């Protein structure tokens, strides 16, 4: 690996996650020189839907209580990317999507990038991950560089438990998703994404194995939770916590399959206000599922004494559009529904619980963990501060971007509606947040020209419903210059340095079962499209998951009436 990859990134926002007077670093623990690191990531979770951040429904009561008692709560954390691959690559490398290059156009994190796991492993850590997302499989995309042991929710050890847990939450009358029992479309199994309690079991099994082996090294661990990602099947009790009976029933009946979601986003389908309300309550219910699963894990870790000497980062990779701006999912935009994510950092030995109101970027989690743990920093010139107010004030601008077009979604909708024009949708998106204002640029994918600009004042318009660009051209110009300075300072992804052969090999090795898992999540293109159209099995093996995908585990009776 190239240990100098974390070079200065020009105008990237400096994030002082901790400031003078907020906390002071304590000395190392008496047990060992460096604390453990645990990253807990709720995939597809937007901060504004969490009661932790003031949402009107009590979606995350237990995690809110934990965060207020133990953590630094960042009220305005921003994800640098809009979907799993670019956002995880940024989280793991501290680099923006334009620099690391991982995304739709290049589904691979190039080997020359240094990841958190690699750096902590090189500094004497044992590394572990539990993934419920096929995009974070070791054989695909290379996001888990440096992980010693990976547990997969669809792996042989855990898949039957995950399937049984998912079926136990299902209602027989549910017709809303591709995996719902009453959906009339072709079934592709129940998937392996609702793995909350199994994540807990797998991680504590890892901890037990450390005790048995008398492992003295600290651990670096990453746990992903996928309950909020489509297809959503929250437990009935969670639905009842956030919706009345009528709304629950409408949520079970309203079609939010991948195809319907795309049609709505491309202007070819509509929902009633009541249906949109029901869809939103289903999403909220998944947060109750996540809240219980994660709070149970943290309670267990607290009882074991693990959290006392562990830096915990709780966050999300991106949010989710739920009908706002005529959009569903995480594509075609950089609105707050996608950018604004939860971020809480806890470390009892060094941090005092508090709330940080300044905008911050998840890019800076890398540098923050290096400083909090006291491990040797990677070589390279850092442009980001961590501990002082002065560093936080050095640059208040925070950036987000979507660097590749939604080829899969566009092609699917165009196959059904041939009047869909590519030029209208072939866009990239950029955003800058400075103080209270946010500028969004819609940019042509073909020639990088600016197609449109939107300006919002987030304190008074957090849902971005009133575009101020026409009324405040000077503010637009100021923020546009911030974006331009930032881009001029970036080291852009270079195809000449990219692992193009490795990326092609990983894409071509996907099996039919791999593709079915990706299809359930709305991620398919390339080789997967060939397989679904009868091009044969792409090989590569699916770790034995085919039977469960095709509903072959004999657990149908567990589905609730």
Does residue 546 lie within any of the structural domains? no
Question: What confidence score (pLDDT) does residue 344 get?
Answer: 95
Whichever domain contains 241, its CATH number is: 3.40.720.10
At 470-524, the pLDDT tens digits run 999 999 999 999 999 999 988 887 877 777 766 666 665 666 566 666 666 666 5
Residues 6 or more apart in contact with residue 203 via CB below 8 angstroms:
128, 130, 151, 221, 223, 297
Question: What confidence score (pLDDT) does residue 526 get?
Answer: 52
CA distance between the termini of the chain: 53
Does residue 511 lie within any of the structural domains? yes
Q: Which two tokens stand for residue 494?
A: 């270079």
The sheet with strand 450-457 has its strands ordered as: 397-402, 427-434, 437-444, 450-457
Averaged pLDDT for residues 34-50 = 98
Does residue 251 lie within any of the structural domains? yes
At 96-123, the pLDDT tens digits run 999 988 877 777 788 888 999 999 999 9
Residues 6 or more apart in contact with residue 116 via CB below 8 angstroms:
37, 39, 91, 92, 93, 146, 220, 366, 369
Distance of CA 230 to the CA centre of its chain: 13
Query: Do the strands 126-131 and 149-152 form a parallel or antiparallel pair, or are they unpaired?
Result: parallel
Does residue 165 lie within any of the structural domains? yes
How far apart CA 18 and CA 15 sit, in angstroms, is: 9
Residues 6 or more apart in contact with residue 295 via CB below 8 angstroms:
62, 63, 66
Counted domains in the chain: 1
Domain that holds residue 410: 36-534
Q: Label residue 535 by pLDDT band (50, 70, 90).
A: very low
Q: Is the predicted pLDDT of residue 73 greater than 50, yes or no?
A: yes
Does residue 190 lie within any of the structural domains? yes
Alpha helical stretches, state H, 25-81: 61-70
Question: What confidence score (pLDDT) does residue 514 get?
Answer: 66
| DSSP string across 184-198 | -S------S---HHH
Q: Is the predicted pLDDT of residue 529 greater than 70, yes or no?
A: no
At 291-324, the pLDDT tens digits run 999 999 999 999 999 999 999 999 999 999 999 9
Averaged pLDDT for residues 323-333 = 92
Averaged pLDDT for residues 288-292 = 99
- Nearest CA to 486 out of 324, 387, 361, 375 is that of 361
Does residue 102 lie within any of the structural domains? yes
Q: Per-residue b/e over 307-327, b at no fewer than 16 CB within 10 Å? A: bebbbbbbbbbbbbbbbbeeb
Residues 6 or more apart in contact with residue 513 via CB below 8 angstroms:
542, 545, 546, 549
Q: Per-residue b/e over 154-171, b at no fewer than 16 CB within 10 Å? A: bbeebbebbbebbbebbb
How far apart CA 299 and CA 294 sit, in angstroms, is: 9
At 223-251, the pLDDT tens digits run 999 999 999 999 999 999 999 999 999 99
533: exposed, middle or buried (Cβ count in 10 Å: 0-12, 13-18, 19+): exposed
Question: What confidence score (pLDDT) does residue 107 get?
Answer: 75
Alpha-carbon radius of gyration of the chain:
22
Say how many CA atoms lie within 13 Å of 426 toward its Cβ: 12
Count, residues in the chain? 561
The sheet with strand 126-131 has its strands ordered as: 149-152, 126-131, 219-225, 36-42, 310-315, 343-346, 71-78, 354-361
Output the average pLDDT for the chain.
Answer: 84
Does residue 15 lie within any of the structural domains? no
């Amino acid at each position: 690996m190239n240990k100098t990859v974390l070079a200065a990134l020009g105008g990237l926002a400096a994030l002082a996650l901790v400031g003078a007077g907020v906390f002071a670093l304590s000395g190392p623990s008496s047990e060992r020189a460096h604390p453990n690191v645990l990253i807990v990531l709720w995939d597809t979770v937007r901060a504004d839907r969490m009661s932790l951040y003031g949402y009107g429904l009590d979606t995350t009561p237990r995690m809110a209580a934990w965060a207020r008692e133990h953590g630094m709560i960042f009220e305005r954390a921003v994800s640098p990317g809009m979907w799993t691959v670019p956002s995880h690559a940024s989280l793991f490398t501290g680099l923006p999507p334009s620099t690391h290059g991982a995304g739709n156009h290049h589904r691979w994190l190039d080997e020359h990038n240094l990841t958190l796991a690699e750096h902590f492993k090189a500094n004497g850590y044992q590394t572990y991950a539990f993934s419920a997302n096929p995009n974070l499989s070791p054989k695909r995309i290379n996001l888990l560089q440096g992980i010693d042991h990976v547990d997969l929710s669809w792996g042989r050890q855990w898949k039957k438990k995950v399937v049984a847990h998912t079926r136990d939450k299902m209602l027989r009358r549910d017709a809303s998703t591709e995996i719902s029992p009453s959906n009339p479309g072709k079934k592709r199994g129940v998937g392996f994404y609702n793995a909350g309690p199994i994540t807990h079991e797998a991680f504590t099994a890892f901890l037990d194995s450390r005790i048995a082996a008398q492992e003295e090294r600290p651990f670096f661990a990453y746990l992903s939770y996928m309950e909020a990602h489509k297809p959503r099947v929250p437990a009935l009790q969670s639905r009842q916590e956030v919706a009345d009976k009528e709304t629950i029933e409408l949520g079970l009946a309203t079609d939010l399959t991948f195809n319907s979601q795309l049609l709505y986003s491309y202007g070819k389908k509509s929902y009633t206000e009541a249906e949109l309300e029901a869809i939103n309550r289903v999403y909220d219910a998944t947060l109750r599922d996540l809240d219980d699963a994660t709070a149970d894990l943290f309670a267990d870790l607290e009882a074991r004494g693990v959290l006392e000497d562990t830096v915990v980062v709780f966050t999300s990779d991106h949010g989710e559009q739920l009908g706002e701006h005529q959009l569903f999912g995480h594509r075609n935009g950089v609105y707050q529904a996608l950018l604004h994510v939860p971020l809480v950092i806890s470390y009892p030995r060094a941090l005092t619980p508090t709330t940080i109101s300044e905008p911050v970027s998840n890019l800076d989690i890398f540098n923050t963990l290096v400083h909090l743990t006291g491990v040797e920093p990677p070589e390279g010139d850092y442009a980001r501060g961590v501990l002082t107010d002065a560093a936080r004030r050095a640059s208040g601008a925070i950036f987000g971007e979507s660097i590749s077009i939604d080829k899969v979604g566009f092609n699917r909708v165009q196959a059904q509606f041939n009047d869909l024009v590519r030029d209208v949708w072939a866009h990239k998106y950029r955003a800058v947040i400075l103080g209270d204002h946010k500028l969004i640029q819609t940019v042509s994918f073909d020639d990088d020209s600016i197609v449109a600009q939107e300006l919002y004042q987030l304190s008074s318009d957090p849902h971005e419903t009133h575009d101020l660009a026409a009324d405040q051209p000077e503010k637009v110009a100021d923020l546009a210059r911030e974006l331009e300075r930032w881009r001029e300072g970036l080291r852009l992804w270079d195809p000449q340095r990219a692992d193009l052969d490795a990326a092609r090999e990983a894409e071509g090795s996907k099996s039919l079962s791999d593709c079915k898992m990706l299809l359930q999540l709305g991620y398919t293109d390339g080789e997967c499209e060939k397989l679904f159209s009868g091009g044969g099995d792409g090989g590569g093996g699916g770790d034995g998951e085919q039977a469960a995908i095709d509903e072959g585990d004999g657990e149908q009776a567990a589905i609730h009436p």
